[in-house]
C-alpha cells in the first residue's frame, strides 16, 4: 500500500533540497514549470475521473439546478419575481412535484456515489492498490500545501506546491458537499414526512421548525458556494476559461495536472509508457537531460 509520493519515483535526487526538479526513473529530471512547454488537447490528455463519477456529477449538476430553481421560488413566493418563475414550472403544485422528483434523483446519485467510492476503495485495498494520496481524504500535507499556495500567490514562493490528485481546495469543497447533502436530505425528509419524523423528534414542533430553517439556509449557502466558489475555481480561472471539460470527459489537460496536481502526473508517468515517452520528448526539445 503506497503512502507517499516517493514510492512513485524509483529514486529522488536531492529530495527536499531542490524543489524545482523532480526526478522520475525512465524519464529524467522534470522542472516544476515544464507545463509551459507541453501541448495539450482542450478535451483532456490524461484520465482523471471514472465514467461512474462523470455520471454522478452530471446527475447532481442537473438536479441541483432544478432544486435551486424550484426551491428558491417556493421559499421566496412572496417576492415579485417568484410568480413569474412559478409559471414556467406550471404553478406551485407542479413546482413542488418537480422539486421532490429532483430531490429523489439527487439522493439516488448520492447513494450511487457512496457505493462507487466505498466499493472502489474496498476493491483497491483487497488488490493492494489503495493509495491514500489519490483519495479525497484530508492529509497534513494539504495544510502545508494551502500555506505554500497562499505564499505563492503573495509572491513569497517561486513555484506552486506539488499536490496530489485532489488539492486542498477540492477536499474542502468535497467535505462541504457531503455535509450540505446530509443537511438538505435529512431536513427535506423531515418536511416531506412530518408524521413519521414526529415519532422520532423529542420535540416535533421544534424539529419541524429546525428542519425548515436548515433546509432553506443550507440551500442558499450551497447555491452561493457552487456559483461563487466552485464554478469560478473550476471554469473561470486563467487556463481553464471558458470551460474545463473534465466533468464531461473524465479527462484532464496535461498543463492543468502538472500545474495543480504534479504528484498525480508523476503517478501517470509510471503508469502510462506513452506519457513517459512524450515527456522525454518535451524535455529533449527544451534542452533538459533525460534517461
CATH number of the domain bearing residue 211: 1.20.950.20
Averaged pLDDT score across all residues of the chain: 90
Strand 28-31 with 46-47, pairing? unpaired
Say what angle helices 204-225 and 51-75 make with each other, to 10 degrees. 120
pLDDT of 49 above 90: yes
Helix (H) or strand (E) holding 28: strand 28-31
In a domain, 7, yes or no: no
- Tell me how far apart the alpha carbons of residues 54 and 199 are, in angstroms, rounded to a whole number: 39
In a domain, 141, yes or no: yes
In a domain, 135, yes or no: yes
| pLDDT mean over 202-210 | 91
Q: Which domain holds residue 132?
A: 46-264
Cell of 284: 529533449
Q: What angle do CA 176, 109, 2 make, to 5 degrees?
A: 65
- Tell me how far apart the alpha carbons of residues 45 and 258 are, in angstroms, rounded to a whole number: 12
Q: Per-residue b/e over 26-35, b at no fewer than 16 CB within 10 Å?
A: ebbbbebebb
pLDDT of 241 above 90: no
Say if residues 260 and 163 touch (Cβ distance below 8 Å).
yes
pLDDT of the residue at 16: 40
In a domain, 274, yes or no: no
**pLDDT bracket for residue 15 (50, 70, 90):** very low
pTM, whole model, 2 decimals?
0.86
In a domain, 5, yes or no: no
pLDDT of the residue at 262: 96
| Neighbouring residues of 167: CB distance < 8 A, sequence distance ≥ 6 | 142, 145, 260, 261
- Tell me how far apart the alpha carbons of residues 214 and 219 are, in angstroms, rounded to a whole number: 8
In a domain, 289, yes or no: no
The whole-angstrom distance between residue 145's C-alpha and the CA centroid of its chain comes to 17
pLDDT of 5 above 60: no
pLDDT per residue over 89-112, tens digit each?
999 999 999 999 999 999 999 999
pLDDT of 6 above 60: no
pLDDT of 17 above 50: no
Nearest to 50 by CA among 106, 123, 104, 125: 123
The alpha helices in the chain, defined as continuous H runs, are 51-75, 82-88, 92-126, 140-153, 168-192, 194-198, 204-225, 231, 246-249, 254-260, 262-271, 273-285
Say if residues 160 and 237 touch (Cβ distance below 8 Å).
no
In a domain, 109, yes or no: yes
Using DSSP, state whether 22 is helix, strand or coil: strand
C-alpha distances (whole Å) from 164 to each of 27, 139, 228, 229 are 19, 10, 24, 20
**pLDDT bracket for residue 18 (50, 70, 90):** low
Number of domains composing the chain: 1
Amino acid at each position: 500500500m503506497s503512502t507517499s509520493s516517493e514510492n512513485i519515483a524509483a529514486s529522488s535526487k536531492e529530495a527536499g533540497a531542490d524543489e524545482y526538479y523532480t526526478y522520475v526513473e525512465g524519464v529524467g529530471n522534470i522542472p516544476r514549470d515544464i507545463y509551459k512547454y507541453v501541448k495539450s488537447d482542450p478535451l483532456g490528455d490524461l484520465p482523471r475521473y471514472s465514467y461512474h463519477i462523470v455520471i454522478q456529477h452530471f446527475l447532481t449538476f442537473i438536479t441541483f439546478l432544478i432544486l435551486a430553481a424550484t426551491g428558491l421560488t417556493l421559499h421566496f413566493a412572496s417576492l415579485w419575481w417568484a410568480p413569474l418563475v412559478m409559471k414556467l414550472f406550471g404553478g406551485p403544485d407542479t413546482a413542488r412535484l418537480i422539486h421532490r422528483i429532483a430531490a429523489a434523483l439527487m439522493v439516488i446519485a448520492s447513494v450511487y456515489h457512496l457505493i462507487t467510492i466505498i466499493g472502489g476503495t474496498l476493491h483497491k485495498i483487497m488488490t493492494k492498490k489503495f493509495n491514500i494520496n489519490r483519495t479525497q481524504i484530508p492529509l497534513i500535507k494539504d495544510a502545508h500545501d494551502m500555506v505554500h499556495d497562499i505564499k505563492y500567490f503573495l509572491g513569497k514562493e517561486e513555484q506552486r506546491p506539488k499536490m496530489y490528485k485532489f488539492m486542498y481546495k477540492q477536499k474542502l469543497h468535497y467535505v462541504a458537499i457531503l455535509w450540505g447533502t446530509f443537511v438538505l436530505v435529512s431536513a427535506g425528509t423531515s418536511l416531506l414526512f412530518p408524521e413519521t419524523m414526529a415519532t422520532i423528534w423529542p420535540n416535533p414542533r421544534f424539529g419541524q421548525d429546525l428542519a425548515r430553517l436548515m433546509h432553506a439556509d443550507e440551500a442558499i449557502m450551497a447555491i452561493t458556494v457552487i456559483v461563487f466558489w466552485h464554478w469560478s475555481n473550476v471554469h473561470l480561472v486563467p487556463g481553464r476559461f471558458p470551460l474545463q471539460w473534465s466533468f464531461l470527459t473524465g479527462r484532464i489537460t496535461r498543463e492543468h495536472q502538472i500545474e495543480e496536481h504534479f504528484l498525480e502526473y508523476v503517478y501517470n508517468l509510471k503508469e502510462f509508457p506513452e506519457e513517459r515517452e512524450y515527456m522525454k520528448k518535451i524535455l529533449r526539445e527544451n534542452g533538459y537531460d533525460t534517461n
